[in-house]
Structure 1
Amino acid sequence: MTGSSLRPPLETPRRTPLRRFLHTVDGVTIDAAYDPGTRPSDDLAIVVAHGFTGGVDRPHVRRVADVFARGAAVVTFSFRGHGASGGNSTVGDREVHDLAAAVAWARELGHARVVTVGFSMGGSVVLRHAALSAQEHAGRTEARTDAVVSVSAPARWYYRGTAPMRRVHWLVTRPVGRVVGRYGLRTRIHHGGWDPVPASPVESVPLIAPTPLLIVHGDQDGYFPVDHPRMLAAASGDHAELWLEHGMGHAEHAADDELLTRIGEWAAAHAS
């Protein structure tokens, strides 16, 4: 096992990421970017799965990538229906194919160790992707992950217990909400429901072992209260490591550089 430190230098040189359109197994074009980081000799790559309405060029996603790039190569991408990617968002269902394409690209670029880090919707996607990979149902062995970090993810589907999640459900399920998503948030949302309903994050977690798993959640998360990460950790059968972050809100916007640095260091130490 090799490791790398993500403790930042005083200034990180600016780099121009390599851009490419990837193709998923179900025929969707995905806009992706690759940053070799400041340690190009390292064999570790971190693949970042953003939250709903995010994207590869969103400032909060680029900040996450910049912190991780201090100690690893980084692949970022826009999920289907987001930004310049094709298709429509299925809000966590078929997005596992998008993540698989990004992981496969990291391996194609020569990285022997690949860690997936997902935020909110992306957090549920990295859990489902890891479970499918562990069960060898992903269809592409090159798309496997060596460690998984889920940040601010839900444990179960259809949660409406908070005002922000009720707004998200309005956005996804109502025609006028989908118009707002398309033109206001650059997110094209599929008009139909799930058929069949995919395995939930809490159903997926038990299938991930022995792949290392880190669950990160803020105790001030306005979308998903702390029973969600506790359910996920309990479902792992003590396989997962749980970080409940004091004062942290939700997903990328709430993850400060210090937390991202610790996540990157955990990834470097646990990927093998």
Structure 2
Amino acid sequence: MSGDTAGHVARPTIVPDSETPPRTQVRRFLRAADGVAVDALYEPGAAGRTRRDPAGEPVTAGADETAETAEADVPAGAAAPRPVFVIAHGFTGDLDRPHVRRIAQVFGECGAVVTFSFRGHGASGGRSTVGDREVLDLAAAVAWARGLGHARVVTVGFSMGGSVVLRHAALYGPEDGGARGRAAEHTDAVVSVSAPARWYYRGTAPMRRLHWLVMRPEGRLVGRYGFRTRIHHRAWDPVPLSPVEAAARIAPVPLLIVHGDQDAYFPLDHPRTLAAAAGDHGELWVEPGMGHAENAAPGPLLHRIARWAVARAG
């Protein structure tokens, strides 16, 4: 596996700009900068869907509609009134998993949503590098979201995805954007949920099992056939930028770190270390009773995260 290069990583193929975001779902394979095919799904969200009458004809907003519903009728050429959330799932997940679909549904109430499957997961190509080359997959998804017409992008990652959104924000700054700044891969706000602060952590039983799954040939067979996750057999070389190093480089982009006080994978020194590294541009929420990642995140917490992101991504 190859890690971060000096400066910023290679750019994926830029998606041509769109005048306005789509009003319906779009599913396609993106191409990461190293050529890996990434399965991705765009959903316009509750405020961006085209509503149709029983005959299938579009319905125009009327004077009696709420402001939230009327936001769906954005004039041609105008920027989307709400951000697009790009969701980075955890290890062994994919965009079709029920827990990822639940996350997308909640965030879809506050904006458009892009979900995708990391390499080695689901229908995407390649093999998982467990957080290293996955930053290229996220960059491709962010570029696609901007190319579809969204001016504001929020990346939200869980567990492995939480480490990926941190590294992505550190490696892809707004100054590295494409022409007119519309096809850039940078994010406007970052949410990292249940992420590690450092690599190779083995201090809990779940993390010792995960290392066996990733580092042993028999473990990788279990990953392929038991979890539908194809894992690369090569070790990191070089070791990529750690999450805590990345957190220190994200400013001035707003960063929210969310962690459960009952997380069985990573104890509370991980989120606290990340928050300390982020400084004034980082915010830490320690959630009482919450476990690990997507399956443990309750709906009210996801709504709070979405509201935080909408307020800060402008």
Q: When the two structures are superposed, what TM-score results if normalisation uses the length of structure 1? A: 0.92
- Does residue 88 of structure 2 align to residue 49 of structure 1? yes
Question: Which digits, 9 at most, give the CA deviation of each residue in 1:201-255, with x for residues without a partner?
Answer: 0011111000000000000000000000000001112320000000000000000
Question: Which residue pairs with 2:283 in the alignment?
Answer: 241
Question: Which residue pairs with 1:263 in the alignment?
Answer: 305
1:160 counterpart letter in structure 2: R
1:64 counterpart letter in structure 2: I
Question: Which residue pairs with 2:117 in the alignment?
Answer: 78
- Structure 1 CA distance, aligned partners of 2:152 and 2:226? 37
**Contact 1:38-1:71 within 8 A present in 2 as well:** yes
Residue 17 (structure 1) shift: 3.2
- Does residue 100 of structure 2 align to residue 61 of structure 1? yes
- Structure 1 CA distance, aligned partners of 2:46 and 2:279? 37
- Structure 1 CA distance, aligned partners of 2:177 and 2:240? 14
**Contact 2:177-2:184 within 8 A present in 1 as well:** no
- Does residue 238 of structure 2 align to residue 196 of structure 1? yes
Question: Which digits, 9 at most, give the CA deviation of each residue in 1:70-119, with x for residues without a partner?
Answer: 11000000000001000000000000000001001110111110000000
1:28 counterpart letter in structure 2: V
Structure 2 gap ranges (5+): 1-22, 49-71, 73-80
Q: Secondary structure at the match of 1:238?
A: helix
Question: Which residue pairs with 2:4 in the alignment?
Answer: none
Q: 1:45 to 1:227 in 2, by over 3 A?
A: same
Question: Which residue pairs with 2:296 in the alignment?
Answer: 254
2:187 counterpart letter in structure 1: T
Query: What are the residue-to-residue correspondences of 1:158-237 with 2, within 5 Å?
Result: 158-237=200-279
Question: Which residue pairs with 2:34 in the alignment?
Answer: 26
Q: Provide the identity percentage.
A: 73
**Contact 1:88-1:190 within 8 A present in 2 as well:** yes
Q: 1:259 to 1:52 in 2, by over 3 A?
A: same
Question: Which residue pairs with 2:55 in the alignment?
Answer: none
1:173 counterpart letter in structure 2: M
Q: Secondary structure at the match of 1:207?
A: coil
Question: Which residue pairs with 1:101 in the alignment?
Answer: 140
**Contact 2:262-2:288 within 8 A present in 1 as well:** yes
| Higher CA-based Rg | 2
Q: 1:173 to 1:139 in 2, by over 3 A?
A: farther
**Contact 1:132-1:138 within 8 A present in 2 as well:** no
1:123 aligned residue (150, 162, 167): 162
Question: Which digits, 9 at most, give the CA deviation of each residue in 1:40-76, with x for residues without a partner?
Answer: 1434100000000000000000000000001100000
- Structure 1 CA distance, aligned partners of 2:252 and 2:217? 42
**Contact 2:174-2:184 within 8 A present in 1 as well:** no
Residue 137 (structure 1) shift: 6.7
Question: Which residue pairs with 1:35 in the alignment?
Answer: 43
- Structure 2 CA distance, aligned partners of 1:84 and 1:127? 24
Paired residue total = 258
Q: Secondary structure at the match of 1:105?
A: helix
1:218 counterpart letter in structure 2: G
- Structure 1 CA distance, aligned partners of 2:158 and 2:25? 21
- Structure 1 CA distance, aligned partners of 2:46 and 2:161? 25
- Structure 2 CA distance, aligned partners of 1:135 and 1:101? 15
- Structure 2 CA distance, aligned partners of 1:43 and 1:143? 18
Q: 1:104 to 1:135 in 2, by over 3 A?
A: closer
- Does residue 185 of structure 2 align to residue 146 of structure 1? no
Structure 1 vs Structure 2 CA RMSD: 1.6
- Structure 2 CA distance, aligned partners of 1:18 and 1:262? 27
- Structure 2 CA distance, aligned partners of 1:192 and 1:135? 32
- Structure 2 CA distance, aligned partners of 1:138 and 1:178? 37
**Contact 1:216-1:245 within 8 A present in 2 as well:** yes
